[in-house]
Chain A
Amino acid sequence: MKAFDYAAPASLPEAVGLLASQPAARLLAGGTDLLVQLRSGRKQADVVIDVKKIPELNEITLAPDHSLTIGAAVPCYRLTDHPAIRTHYPALAEVASWIGGTPIQGRASLGGNLCNSAPSADSIPLLIALSASAHLIGPAGRRSVPVEAFCTAPGRNQLAPGELLVAIHIPAPAPHSGAAYLRFIPRNEMDIAVVGAGASLTLANGLIAAARLALSSVAPTPLFVPAAGESLIGQAPTPAALEAAAQLAQAAASPISDMRGSAAYRRHLCAVMARRALELALARAQESK
């Protein structure tokens, strides 16, 4: 690893200014992706800008309507430990407790997970299912991007030079809705998803009123499958309907073979994990008021 300069701005304007003057700088939140990549030589940096000292990036705001804003640098453990998040967003508390392990979760942020833009990122399918958006700031001001449109290729995303992620915003969940993220790993921790599936589902009058499904590790980016969710709208939440939606997710996937699993195995898992995520989301929707 080569030596680099380090800066830790204490405010958003300072950070934006610094980034404008150092467009090649690397942003550091928890560092659990970045530092590994710098050490292995996969990325280089002359300047590293630590965003953890910026107050807005460390805030968790749960509005009265239960919409949720998570500062980009909030470490995972704060989500897992947050009583209201555990109540209203159990799937989010779960995913935050699965990334890495206990020591990693003391640092790793959802913002970093999103901006690292790995196809396997565990939080992204769930954020897509929850209709989350990414709030960005840059030289041209603020803008918001739906999470499903944020990642563009492995490790690449919509962030323009000089831009940084401020927060992830999740709109208020509808009544009688539930969400889930499930990943398949051969072990029970410390593994990268072979396939992951995030789902949300809203019930009205016994029928499915809204549904969203996204997958990880089966395409160059986390994969939103609108057709899968749409197929469920207006349907009774039967096993056959969920299975049909899962099949649509499987059809949309274009997995590769690597050391974590063959394409054929991943394709098989797509349907299994999608169905199980929908089942869990359904169970949560049925329990929710």
Chain B
Amino acid sequence: MSTPTYNVIGTRPIRHDGADKVTGRALYGADLQLARLVHGAILRSPHAHARILRIDTSKAEALPGVFAVVTAADFPPAPADKIVDFGEGDTLLSSLRGNILASGKVLYSGHAVAAVAAVNAHVAAEAAALIDVEYEVLPCVLTAPAAMAPGAPILHDHLPNGNIAETVRYEMGDLAAGFAQASLIVERELDTATVHQGYIEPQNATAFWSTDGRIQIWCSTQGSFVARDATAAVLDLPVSHVKVTPMEIGGGFGGKINVYLEPVAALLSKKAGRPVKLVMSRRDVFTGTGPTPGSRVRVKIGVNPEGKITAAQAWLAYEAGAYPGAMVVPGAMTVFACYDIENILIEGYDVVVNKPSTAAYRAPGAPNSALATETVLDEIAEKLGLDPLTLRLRNAAHEGTRRADGPRYKRIGCVEVLEAMQASPHYNAPLPGPHCGRGVAIGFWFNVGLPSSATLSVNADGTVNLIEGSTDIGGSRASLAMQAAEVLGLRAEDIHPTVVDTDSVGYTGVTGGSRTTFSTGLAVHDAAQLVIAQMKARAARLWAVDHVDFANGVFSANGNSLSFAELAAQLGATGGPVSCSATVNPKGVGGSFAGLITDLHVDPETGKTTVLRVTSVQDAGKAIHPAYVEGQMQGGTAQGLGWALNEEYFMDADGDMRNGSYLDYRMPTALDLPMIETIIVEVPNPGHPFGVRGVGEANIVPPLPSVANALYRATGKRLNRVPMNPATILGL
């Protein structure tokens, strides 16, 4: 296949929302002001596990300046076993509601119990403190292995298997025969701690429930339609009664898909008769929203003397937090996804524990399981005396490889990523001195499709308005406008992208799953094709011809030619404005592979790690805007390095988080990371017109094992727990 040449795709125009963002004009949820707005506060459980015996809100209601107090009793009645599905799979309504406002029991420290709306945030906080909740404190359980043990405190009565909410099992080939062929078998078990996405902007929601029963919501969300549908489900309202306006968003990384505040703000607004704004504190974000699961993963891999994997086995237990849904399924699906292996057994357990209900976080589930696989492979490479990338190349997945969970890969870039790592200047540079180590690892993420919609309207001056519903977290206005511009033969600056509310564009799935540039990009591409078709028809009418060509922004036929702008100026006279919409539900998703080379130094006396040099390599399929692809790679790498080295929910025995601030949570700062080098690999995805794969997630998969492997080379120790912080490195 010859490489197509593009005019716009692959260039680096300034993002359309850039000026507003750097000048502080972009409006985030906390900036929103409305007439008669009042402010909310949420009362959260101090206990990790307790029965709610009684909630007395009378003192709070009596406080001057208080407009409304709500608890779970304010949800409309619903049967206990009602199932809701808003495109994300089935969920028990009681679980969805239970996490928003606890009823019956609190299941984690930080669990929302009641909410107040008052004249200002201070009065609201004071009123929340006046709500009297009587608890019967129950024993709590905080890790998956402990929750699976006999006699563990049970969180939910309705789960048939104690605290195990779900079991997943994938099997392929003959495991015993595979291990029998192996000349070397390595087995390791590694734990990871609960970590948070760490987006800079806390969750917020403002809601106004008007007297006609319709609700308007302004919030920070990765998916306005999902927020709408979840809010409608929780409040038992017709979907059309809820309108969600996504404000600008200060990061999400998967953590801003679930709703926490929106239905509460709505309930408060209904009682108060005014718009109500809720804004979380950082501690609320840590304790009241979804982190990514802590986990225990055991991996056993056998190889023959040439380093070909003969069998691989994995056992995974992930902490779901308070409600089922720990991402153990993707963890299990990805654990061996980078390799072509005949004999596989994977067993995974989704385990509820008394911690915040987990949410998605960049390639959710995959870093935890890749940590085990990639460190075991490092050990195997060492024992065989093989270069660790060579070992991986001997086993790398390729077109036709079958994954243990079923699908066969179409064209993928696993080999190309490994080759790019091996050929990189970084991999071929010497280490700077003693106590230094270099580690490598690779990872996979599926990416998703899901529906997206877009509308393009041609203006008479030849510029084009792009209406879309994908929250712009990582530069998607630019990457979408560029795809429109490419089809229309225009410049990126000629397209004016706007993210609109749920009443103003067709259904669009979340900005997540690395899908926006792929799926919404496809919608934009298809809408642009429709625009071209209609414009050709106008030109045909103008010139009285049957066939019009369009190339490089120029319509032509029989010696006539008009540029896009020239023809746009004649639309009024040829039948009126052109405006085209497309809604897609694409199936041609292309998975992405990523690798990371890490050089680090360990201070042998303090155990402190200094990351010296890192190179992130990823298959983008096609990098629409390379700078934003690099940004995704650098962001995922930075988050992964923090996860590997220092971040964790530090909880006491009672399940209270002791480090719920950015001071003590220890995410890396700019001074903690070197410049993150990037190598973009482009193996086009045959399922997208421009070859896009989606790049938001795979890059966070390799850092955990890459760091673990580098630490081993620097210290001679194979640690079995992330974070691999200074004390752990010294064993203290």
Please name 13 further chain A to chain B contacts, defined as beta carbons within 8 Å, in addition to the given A3-B122, A189-B669, A190-B662, sorted by A numbering.
A184-B608, A186-B645, A186-B666, A187-B646, A188-B669, A189-B671, A190-B663, A190-B669, A259-B659, A259-B664, A262-B727, A268-B732, A272-B606
Contacts of A264 in B (CB 8 A): 732
Tell me if B658 counts as interface (CB < 8 A to partner A).
yes
Task: Tell me the smallest distance from the CB of B211 to a CB of chain A, in Å.
Answer: 34
**Closest A-B pairs by Cβ, 9 of them:** A259-B650, A188-B671, A265-B732, A265-B727, A259-B658, A259-B659, A272-B605, A264-B732, A189-B671
State the CA gap A187–B730 with chains docked (Å): 16
Task: Tell me the smallest distance from the CB of A19 to a CB of chain B, in Å.
Answer: 26
A256-289 Cβ-contact flags toward B at 8 Å (1 or 0): 0011111011001100100000000000000000
Contacts of B122 in A (CB 8 A): 1-3
State the CA gap A187–B668 with chains docked (Å): 7
Interface size of A as a range: 20 to 34
Task: Tell me the smallest distance from the CB of A259 to a CB of chain B, in Å.
Answer: 4
> Quick check: B650 and A2 within 8 Å, CB to CB?
no
Prevailing SS type, chain A contact patch: loop
Closest to B659 in A: A259
State the CA gap A189–B673 with chains docked (Å): 12
Tell me if A191 counts as interface (CB < 8 A to partner B).
yes
> Quick check: B671 and A269 within 8 Å, CB to CB?
no
State the CA gap A2–B732 with chains docked (Å): 42
Contacts of B659 in A (CB 8 A): 259
State the CA gap A43–B303 with chains docked (Å): 61
Taking CB atoms and an 8 Å cut-off, the chain B residues in 698-732 that contact chain A are 725-727, 730, 732
Contacts of A2 in B (CB 8 A): 122, 126
Contacts of A47 in B (CB 8 A): none
Contacts of B669 in A (CB 8 A): 187-190
State the CA gap A186–B728 with chains docked (Å): 12
State the CA gap A258–B664 with chains docked (Å): 11
Contacts of A189 in B (CB 8 A): 669, 671-672
Show the binding face of A for B, using Cβ within 8 Å: 1-3, 184, 186-192, 258-262, 264-265, 268-269, 272
State the CA gap A91–B125 with chains docked (Å): 43
Closest to B607 in A: A265
Contacts of B664 in A (CB 8 A): 192, 259-260
Contacts of B730 in A (CB 8 A): 265, 268
Q: Can you list 20 contacts pairing A with B, beta carbon distance less than 8 Å?
A: A1-B122, A1-B125, A184-B608, A186-B646, A186-B725, A187-B646, A187-B669, A188-B671, A188-B672, A189-B672, A190-B663, A190-B669, A192-B663, A258-B658, A260-B664, A262-B727, A265-B726, A265-B730, A268-B732, A272-B606
B640-659 Cβ-contact flags toward A at 8 Å (1 or 0): 00000110001000000011
Contacts of B608 in A (CB 8 A): 184, 186
Task: Tell me the smallest distance from the CB of A13 to a CB of chain B, in Å.
Answer: 34
**Which of the residues B125, B605, B666 comes within 8 Å of A187, measured between beta carbons?**
B666
State the CA gap A272–B646 with chains docked (Å): 21
Task: Tell me the smallest distance from the CB of A196 to a CB of chain B, in Å.
Answer: 13
Closest to A276 in B: B605
Task: Tell me the smallest distance from the CB of A3 to a CB of chain B, in Å.
Answer: 7
Contacts of B672 in A (CB 8 A): 187-189
Contacts of B663 in A (CB 8 A): 190-192
Contacts of B671 in A (CB 8 A): 187-189
State the CA gap A262–B606 with chains docked (Å): 13
State the CA gap A268–B728 with chains docked (Å): 13
